[in-house]
Amino acid sequence: MTNHKNDGSENIHTDFSSRMTYGEYLNLDELLSAQNRLSPHHDEMLFIIIHQVSELWMKLTLHELHAAIEAIRKDQMQAAFKMLARVSSIQKQIIQAWDVLSTLTPSEYMEFRDHLGQASGFQSYQYRMIEFALGYKTPHVLKIYEKDPELHHRLEEAYRAPSLYDAAIEKLSDSGFPISKKLLDRDYTQLYEKDSSVEAAWTNVYKDVEQYWDLYQLGEKLVDIEDSLQQWRFRHMKTVERIIGHKKGTGGSSGVGYLKKVLDHRFFPELWDVRTNI
């Protein structure tokens, strides 16, 4: 017979008649009842959960990115570095999710694909908000969300807000680098384009790491995030190709063709060019 007297279990709380439980704190009843299959096919559960988990990670990514932008603008660099490092760790989780989804074969997916209608990951508003927070502003996607005025308003606010890279460029200017005035006063809704004054500033940072240690760390944190995002995009593209080939996406996009095209975009171009300059 097992002796439980000294195994540490004697102090475990078992009476929760007037106390909050783990499940109540996490709203597990609501969370675990949100996987509503539209088909009887076994593998649709995998498809739903992978996307729901990814959306939860994206929620945390946005939480950290917005806080990091604010911290940089307040010159709280160590706090910003911690948040950006956390984003990079989150990205590893989201990238690995494609390995699980890729266990779904083309034949299995076709069993329930028609039930999705026009619903598509292309419509993920949190992913769009992450793109906006990183400076990739694409106005045409806002139309997708007009069905929900409150959500549309949130996206418009994110679309007009300064990005993480805008905050980094302001930091370069505050540190004494001669950043172009038109760039500092720019319309944040416009897609960022490479600027020679920013390139010169980052080149100087990377040539004198000891003097500009905080800016150097910031640059590397940004490169980490873009690198991981591009890995996520690549794994997305290859997983889609593996499951549906070159069919159109359920949302009407060209599928693999569209996903290959967005791989060409660079979020922080000068930070990649500095590798050649130094």
Q: Known binder of ligand: residue 49? A: yes
Q: Known binder of ligand: residue 12? A: no
- The region that residue 176 occupies, defined by phi over 0 for left and psi between -120 and 50 for alpha, beta otherwise, is left
Distance, in Å, from the CA atom of 244 to the CA atom of 264, rounded to the nearest integer, reads 22
Q: Known binder of ligand: residue 159? A: no
Distance, in Å, from the CA atom of 48 to the CA atom of 28, rounded to the nearest integer, reads 16
CA dihedral sign of residues 268, 273, 277, 278: positive
Distance, in Å, from the CA atom of 189 to the CA atom of 206, rounded to the nearest integer, reads 29
Q: Known binder of ligand: residue 94? A: no
Distance, in Å, from the CA atom of 239 to the CA atom of 255, rounded to the nearest integer, reads 11
Q: Known binder of ligand: residue 169? A: no
Q: Known binder of ligand: residue 243? A: no
Write the CA distances from 185 to 90, 102, 104, 156, 182, integer angstroms.
Answer: 32, 45, 48, 19, 5
| CA angle (249 as vertex; 248, 252 as ends), nearest 5 | 85
| CA angle (153 as vertex; 25, 129 as ends), nearest 5 | 65
Q: Which DSSP category does 268 fall into?
A: S
Q: Known binder of ligand: residue 50? A: yes
Write the CA distances from 74 to 17, 67, 80, integer angstroms.
Answer: 46, 11, 10
* Residue numbers belonging to the annotated binding site for substrate: 47-51, 109, 113, 250
* Residue numbers belonging to the annotated binding site: 47-51, 109, 113, 236, 250
* Residue numbers belonging to the annotated binding site for heme: 236
